[in-house]
Amino acid sequence: MPKEVKPKQRKIREMQVTKINDRELVLVEDVAKAFSCSTRTIKRYLNSKKLRGIHFAGKWFVLLESIEKFIEEQLEES
């Protein structure tokens, strides 16, 4: 099981947000950079439902609200 990661605030602000159908989405690669982990780890989080996302136009995106919820849960646990 992958270790839990805590993103750095500066990197979170650097994530590029894309809007599709009123949903704010972030590329898996950008989330991985912000969390200082691999894209594979983020995809595991998507598979395990720790994060929510969609596959669109050949790329994986994570819902921004899901990232925010994940961070809140991590902060509550620590």
Q: Which long-range contacts (CB under 8 A, 24 or more apart) does 25-29 make?
A: 25/53, 25/54, 25/56, 25/61, 25/62, 25/63, 25/64, 26/61, 26/62, 26/64, 26/67, 27/59, 27/60, 27/61, 27/62, 28/53, 28/59, 28/60, 28/61, 28/62
The reported pTM is: 0.80
Q: What are the pLDDT digits (tens) for 23-63?
A: 999 999 999 998 999 999 999 999 999 999 999 889 999 99
